[in-house]
Amino acid sequence: MERYLERIGYTGDRSPNRENLTRLLRCHLETVPFENLDFWQNPRQLPLQIDALYDKVVTRRRGGVCCELNTIFCWLLRELGYEAYPVLVRIFMGPAPHPLSHECVIVVLDGKKYYCDVGFGGPGPKGLVCLEEAGVQTVFGSEFTVTRDGIHFCIHGNMDGTFQPLLQLLDIPATEADFGIVLYFFTAHPDALFVNQRTINLCQPDGGYLALTGNTFTGRRGGESIRREVPEAEIPALLKQEFGLEP
C-alpha cells in the first residue's frame, strides 16, 4: 500500500472520507494512464490477479485498461479502510448502447454510494460522483446528474446544454470471472477497437487531458489545445515524456 500511494503521489491524511477519496481518485487519474500497449497489435488475455496488476501498475509504473486499473484501485481502497466493490457498466456512445463491458468501483461512505472510475478515457466524470444525490453535480468543470431505476444507476452528462446518458451502472458486486470475459473480448477479439488502435489517455491537474490515438497526439493543457501527428520513431520518447511510460 505504501508503494502504491507513492506511485500515485498521494500524501497526507488517509482517513476514509469523501475529501480523501476525491484526492485519491484524482491522484490516480493524473499519474496512471489508461493504455493498451500490452495487447495493441498483440492480442492476448491479460491477468487480473492483484499481484500481477500490482507488479504492472506499481512496480513497473505502467497503466492499463478499465478492468486492470479499477480492480487494483478497488484493492487499494479496501486496504485503506473503504467499503468498495467493483461493478459492470454499460457505456452509451454512438447510435446504440454498448453491452456491459466496462468496470468501475462503487464506494459506500456514510450510507451513500459513490461512483469511482480510474479507467475510463471517454466523456465521463473525472472525479467523485454521489449516486444518491439529487440535482446537478459539477465535477472538474463538467456537469452530471444521476437517476436510478431498480438496480441500475445512470449517470447523465451535460452535452452542449442537454443532459445525455453516459454510463449505466449495474449495482451488483461483480467478480474476477465477470471481468475476465470482458477483458478477453477487448484484448483478444480481432474486431475489438483496442486491439487495432493504440489508445492512451491521462488526466491533467488543471482539468485537461492528454491522449495518443494511433499516431495522433491530442489534448488540452494550460488552456491550450494540442494536436499533432507523431512519427512512429518518436513514439517511445513521447510515451516517456508525456505519459511517464517506458513499455
Beta strand residue intervals within 162-235, DSSP E: 162-170, 199-203, 209-213, 216-221, 224-229
152 catalytic? Reply is: no
Instruction: Out of 67, 74, 117, 156, pick the active-site residue.
Output: 117
The type of residue at 117 is D
**Backbone CA torsion sign across 169, 117, 182, 4:** negative
- Residue 66 is a catalytic residue: yes
Active site residue 102: yes
CA distances from 76 to 53, 69, 79, 85, 161 (A): 12, 11, 5, 11, 36
The C-alpha cell that represents 230 in the structure block? 507523431
Of the candidates 67, 74, 102, 156, the residue annotated as catalytic is: 102
Instruction: From residue 237, give the alpha-carbon distance in Å to each of 169, 213, 229, 241.
Output: 37, 16, 14, 6
Catalytic residue among 66, 67, 74, 203: 66
Strands 142-149 and 152-159 turn out to be antiparallel
Would you tell me how many other CB atoms lie within 10 Å of the CB of residue 115? 26
Q: Could you tell me the sign of the dihedral formed by the alpha carbons of 71, 72, 78, 80, in that order?
A: negative
Could you list the active site residues?
66, 102, 117
